[in-house]
Amino acid sequence: MHYIRFCRPPEVQTSKSRASIKLVLTITTDLSDSSLAPRNPVQLAVIGAYTVNQDGKDQLVPVSLTQSNSPPTWRAGMRVLKLDLPLPSLPIETIQVRPLSRQLTALSTTDVLPGAQGLIMAVFADMPQPRSTVPPSVCFRSLRLSANEMAAAQTLQIEEDLGESIARHIWDSGIVMVSLFADLCLESTARDGGKPLRLFRGILERPDRPLNILELGCGVGVVGIGMARIMSLRPSGQAPHVLMTDLLEAEGKARANIARQAASFGEGPLNLDFEPLDWHDGEKGTFGEKAASRAWDLVVLCDCTYNTDTLPPLVKTLSALHSHAARHASAVKTEVLVATKPRHSSERVFFDLMSADGWVTREQTVLPLPLLDGECQRVEVYLFGKP
C-alpha cells in the first residue's frame, strides 16, 4: 500500500485579489523508504470541506479545490509534488488529498482486505487557523469500518504526525488487521466458511463476558482502537476492555487518538485506555497498575518483530502476561495474536524464541498486500497459545 503524505503543513497565503493554499506532497510506502513509481500516472483530487447546520445537525459539505480538466498528477520518478491552489470564499475547515480514481483509493476496510490490487490511502488535515503563528503539526487518516448497513456511517479516524518519519505513523499491517477484524466481526455470516482464523473468531465471539485485550507496541493506536470500535458495533456480544501499551513517548499520540473516538462510543463507558509498558520491565513481570489489574484473554501485537534486538524481552513479556493471567484468574489462558509484514529474514528468530518459551502456533493465515508499482507483499497473522 502507498500513502499520500504532507511533507510540510498546508500553508494559506492571502492577498488583495485571492487566497490560496500551498501544499507539498509525496506518495510513499508505510516506512517512507520508497516513492510510488506507478506504471500509469495517478491523478489526484484535493477536496476541502466546511460545516453547515441542517435540521439542527452539523454536516460537512465537500468542495473540490482542483479543476476536473487538469487534476494534479503523480508520475514515476517524482519525489514531491508542489501545488498552489485557489481557495473559494467559503469557511474551509479541512482538506483532503486522495486519488481521483475511486478504484485506487483505500476508503473502506472492504477495499483493503480482498487484496485485489495496490491501493493509496488519502490524507486529511485541518486548515491553518487565521492569524495563528503555529502551523498544524498533525494530519489524519480515515477508513470506513465496513460496507454493511450496521457500520455504514462508522469511520475510523487516526491522527499521525506530518512528514515522512516512521515514528507516529500508521503502518501497513495495522490497516490490514483493522480490515480483518471488520470482516470477522461485521460482515455477513454467509461467508463464514471461507473466512480465515476459525479459532481466533471463536475467541472474539465468546458471549459470556467482555474480552480483556491488551496490545503491545501500539504506536498511534490503529489496531487497539480499531478492535474496540469494531467489536462495539457487533449485534451480539459485549464490547471488550482494550488496553494499549507502548513506550512512554507513544502516549501523547495514542491518547490523542483515543480522544478522537469518544463520540463514537455513545453514552456508555469508554473501555479503551493507554498505559506505558517497556518490555524490559514486562519480561520481569513488572507491569503498571492497569496491565496488572486484569487477566488478559488476548494479547495483540502488530509490526513488532522487525527489530530483532527487542525480540527476547518481547517474548518474555508475553510469557509473563500468560503467567499473570493464570495467577489472576485460573480459567483464563492468555492467547497471542501476531501480525507482521515480513521485511527481512532475521525476523524469523521471533518464532524460534516463541517455541523455546513454550508457545505453540494454533493457526495462521497470510493476507495479500499488493503494490501499484511492484511485487505483491503480504501480512502474516499467527495465533499462539500454550498447552
Instruction: Write the pLDDT tens digit of every residue in 280-292.
Output: 999 999 999 999 9
Same domain assignment for residues 151 and 200:
no
Domain that holds residue 106: 2-161
Q: What is the pTM of this model?
A: 0.92
Rounded CA separation 262/65 (Å)? 31
Domain end position, chosen among 141, 161, 181 = 161
Q: pLDDT tens digits, residue range 122-165?
A: 999 998 876 656 666 789 999 998 755 555 568 999 999 887 66
What number of H helices and E strands is found in the chain? 9, 19
> Would you place residue 205 in the very low, low, confident or very high pLDDT band (cuts 50, 70, 90)?
confident
Q: If phi over 0 gives left and psi between -120 and 50 gives alpha, with beta otherwise, what is residue 232?
A: alpha
Final residue before a domain boundary, out of 103, 130, 161:
161
Q: Tell me: do 105 and 179 sit in the same domain.
A: no
Q: Measured between alpha carbons, how far is 155 from 146 in angstroms, rounded to an integer? A: 9
Please indicate, yes or no, whether residues 54 and 32 belong to a single structural domain of this protein: yes
Task: Give the integer Cα–Cα distance in Å for 328 and 294.
Answer: 7
Residues 179 and 213 in one domain: yes
Instruction: For residue 228, give the H/E element and its range.
Output: helix 222-232
Across the range 298-303, mean pLDDT stands at: 97
d(CA 213, CA 242): 5
| pLDDT tens digits along 47-83 | 999 999 888 888 889 999 998 889 999 999 999 999 9
Residues 182, 94 share a domain: no
Residues 214 and 278 in one domain: yes
Has residue 166 been placed in a domain?
Answer: no
Structure confidence by residue, pLDDT tens digits, 213-244: 999 999 999 999 999 999 888 776 678 999 99
**C-alpha cell, 334:** 492468555
DSSP state of 191: G
Going from the C-alpha of 39 to that of each of 35, 247, 378, the distances in angstroms are: 13, 40, 21
Bridge-based pairing of strands 138-144 and 155-161 is: antiparallel
Count of structural domains within the chain: 2
Same structural domain, 146 and 192: no
Domain co-membership, 130 together with 202: no
Same domain? For 248 and 142 the reply is no
Residue count (the chain) = 387
Query: What's the sign of the alpha-carbon dihedral 171, 173, 174, 176?
Result: positive
Q: What is the DSSP-derived secondary structure letter of residue 304?
A: -
Q: Are residues 257 and 363 in the same domain?
A: yes
Same-domain status, 155 and 275: no
For residue 367, give the nearest of 226, 146, 172, 205 by alpha carbon.
Answer: 172
Quick: pLDDT tens for 80-114: 999 999 999 889 999 999 999 999 999 999 999 99
Domain limit, last residue, from 161, 193, 215: 161
Nearest to 368 by CA among 380, 385, 350: 380
Host H or E run for residue 86: strand 81-86
Q: Is 180 in the same domain as 116?
A: no
Which CATH number goes with the domain that contains 351? 3.40.50.150
